[in-house]
Amino acid sequence: MRLFVIAAAVVVLDQVTKYLVASTMDLGQSIPLIRNFLAITYVRNPGAAFGMLPHRTVFLIIVTVLITGFIIYLYQVVPAGYTALRLGLALQVGGALGNLIDRARNISVVDFIDLKFFPPVFNVADIAVVIGVAIFIIAFWRNTPLPRSRPW
């Protein structure tokens, strides 16, 4: 149940922020927040991360659905006591669904967070996926016992 609560919270935050940007800004418009560091810049990304696979919407939707299904399966397999692992998976699902909604509805994803020192503009869903993957990897590494003896 927590998977759906966390994922839903990510999707709502993502979709609300994208709506606010798309409804109040012109495409390409940029509003500096911290000079030479952070701006809100409204762009549409027709591809995946870093603009890879542009205009491959159907392919990206299929891949997202498959990966999301696999993550939901993993969530069910991970024991309840592994909270960090489950949190990482829930954030990944929320982020994937946030961008999936954009692709299905608009054929492109609304991006608006513009770190001037980092090339691509991104969104809340992207942040959730990256943080979710990082939490999952760290928790997996910390919760996985190392073998006591080497087989060789």
Per DSSP, what are the bridge partners of residue 46?
A: none
Query: Which of 145, 111, 117 is closest to 30 using CA atoms?
Result: 111
Query: Which of 138, 89, 110 is closest to 23 using CA atoms?
Result: 110
Contact, 41 vs 21, CB < 8 A? no
Question: What count of Cα atoms within 13 Å lies in the side-chain half-sphere of residue 60?
Answer: 23
Query: Which of 117, 110, 122 is closest to 35 using CA atoms?
Result: 117
CA 78 to chain centroid, in Å, comes to 20
Residues marked as catalytic: 111, 126
